[in-house]
Structures are given as C-alpha cells and as structure tokens.
Amino acid sequence: MTNAKHIVVTGGAGYIGSVVAAQLIAAGHRVTLLDNLSRGHREAVPAGAELVAGDVADRALLDTLFAPRGVHAVVHLAALLEVGESMRVPERYFRNNSAGTLTLLEAMLAHGVRRIVFSSTAALFGDPERVPIDETHPLRPCNVYGESKLMTERMLEWFHRIHGLRYASLRYFNAAGAAGAQGEDHQPESHLIPLILQVALGQRAHVEIYGTDYPTPDGTCVRDYIHVSDLATAHLLALDALEEQGRLLYNLGNGQGFSVRQVIETARRITRHAIPAVESARRAGDPAVLVASSEKIRRELRWAPRRSALETIIADAWEWHRQHPRGYAGAKAPGASSGAD
C-alpha cells in the first residue's frame, strides 16, 4: 500500500484480527479495532491501534464510529466460528454472523464507506467434490457456521451489484501459528494445534481425534493449514486491490493437506512431548478433506506464503504458547485505548 488510510478492523482483538491490525499499522495505516471482547483480548491489541469495545450489531455505535472519522475501508473478521457450536445453536450464528454483518453493511453505506475485506471460510464448500478446492467449486456448506458465512457472501454480491460496494471475500482454510506478540487464545479452545500444545504444556491429559473412519489415508480428517502471518498479508493485498477492482473472491491455504494424526506426530517431534491421543466419534458437520488451491490469489495479487511448512507453523505456535502458558491472561495491554469517542 502506498497511501495511509483509516481502516476499521472488526474482531480486531481476536487471533487473526490482531495480526491483520499489526500488519496494517506497520504499513502506515491508522487502525481502529471494533471488538465486543466476547472472544477477543484487550492484550492482543497491537501498539498504535485504537480499540473500540462494541458490537457490529450496534447501529448507534457504528454511526458514531463511521460518521466523523473518514474511514476508508473495513476488514470484517468479527464472527462466531465454532462448527460444533453452530450445529447446536444455529440461531446464534445466523444472528451474529449474518444479521450482524447486515447491520455493519447498512452503516457503511450510510456513511459512504464502500470497501470491505470479508473473512469468509472454507466451510462454504462442504464435502468437496474435488481437491484442491478452487474458487469455481460449488458452495454447499454442511454446517451452520459455513451457511452463515455463505449468506454474508450473497449479501455482499447483491450490495456490490446494487450499491457499488467493493468487496473481497477471503475463504480461509485453517489458520494456525503465531506472529510475535499475537497468538491463538480461544476460550474454550476447539482448534487442533493449540489443543495439542495444551497437552504438551500439561494443561490437558490428551488430545481427542474426532473420527478415525474417514475416507483418508489414515482415517482422520485432512486439513490445509495456513500461517496466520501469511493470512494477514493476503488481507492487505486484497485491500489494496480494491482500489482498482470491485469484486474479489479468493481461497487461502497452502495447497497441501495434513491429517489429524500427522499434525499430532509433527507436534510430538517439535515439542518433544508424548502428547497422548484418544479416539472419539465424528463431530457433526466435519468434512473429510479440505485442501485449498490458492493459485488465483498467487497469480492475481502475487501473494506468496513465507511460512508455509507445517513444522514452521507448529514451531511458531509452540513458542508463543510456551511464553503465554495461560494465554493472554495476566498480560498487560500494549498501550491500547478503549471505548468509543
């Protein structure tokens, strides 16, 4: 990016949002984070960012945020994201992820904010017909989380056609790793790599393998892991590209898959811990294989992952978790402000 802009990052106190914010600040932008802190952390906010504690569904707060500030664009990461939870309480996901985003879009239009980079998901694809999955693959979510994100993508498309909204939808595969002071700290935690590392830290007795009868080489689910720093870089490239283009759709992954058993074994080597594993039944809504083709964003935006090896991803995560064995708990926020003004 060449010119400094005012960027709002929703969910900016979360895992990916905090890394995106840090990269935006490093690029010279003014960054305001909007986060209701239900799952984000004040301590994750990078130095130089302003934190506004609030929700994307709060229209009055959004009006206060957008009206006087000359906001150029929004990077929208605020969402509930647990697949299992979405299959138990679907209403929470449609209200938060879909309806909440509609409120955000309405406020953006009202205040002339016409660019948004949207955090989408590989869960749009459901059980894939083919791998690696490219952007032309049919969209058939098999869980409510994916459906709530697909509803948002459809809204974005119509807002683009009717209102001229410029948008980029980035369909993440599995974000992992850590970036300096920013790491993965969900409460409760449901993601495989941090769960494995909690076992290595002695905080869990074992890691569970959900399903061992999938049609994969070792019977466990296969996923594509992307380093959180590489994922964040894609957001900045997409934001820049929206200066010239109106609609962008990209899949983001490494293009190679690793089974649950392979991830556990790699973590055992890196941490030098036994990491006991217990086999459990499948979880509802889990496809057998999700692996991305990211050729389109590599070709069009020259995105080039720099930390793509699984060993590097796990080693970075392990270093952060060793330095933050209780997550962000007890850490001091690096000069972040809070509240709307």
Mean pLDDT of the chain: 93
User: 68, 59, 57: which is closest to 32 by C-alpha?
Assistant: 68
Q: List strands edge to edge, sheet with 289-290.
A: 258-259, 222-223, 289-290
Structure tokens at 79: 């969402």
Distance CA 232, CA 241 (A): 15
Crossing angle, helix 15-26 and helix 228-241, to 10 degrees?
60
How far does CA 13 lie from the centroid of its chain? Answer: 12
Low-confidence winner among 16-25, 101-110, 279-288 (lowest mean pLDDT):
279-288
Measured distance between the N- and C-terminal CA atoms of the chain, rounded to whole angstroms = 28
H or E stretch at 14:
none
pLDDT of residue 127: 86
2 or 54, which is more confident: 54
Measured CA angle at 302 (ends 300, 306), to 5 deg: 145
Average pLDDT value for residue range 304-325: 95
pLDDT in tens, 134-149: 999 999 999 999 999 9
Strand ranges (E), 70-181:
73-76, 115-121, 166-172, 174-176
Distance CA 74, CA 235 (A): 11
> Looking at the annotation, which residues are catalytic?
145
Q: Would you say 222 and 289 are in contact if contact means Cβ atoms under 8 Å apart?
A: yes
pLDDT in tens, 152-192: 999 999 999 999 999 999 999 999 999 999 999 988 888 99
Distance CA 51, CA 33 (A): 5
Global pTM reads 0.92
Class assignment of domain 6-323?
Answer: alpha beta
Distance CA 45, CA 47 (A): 7
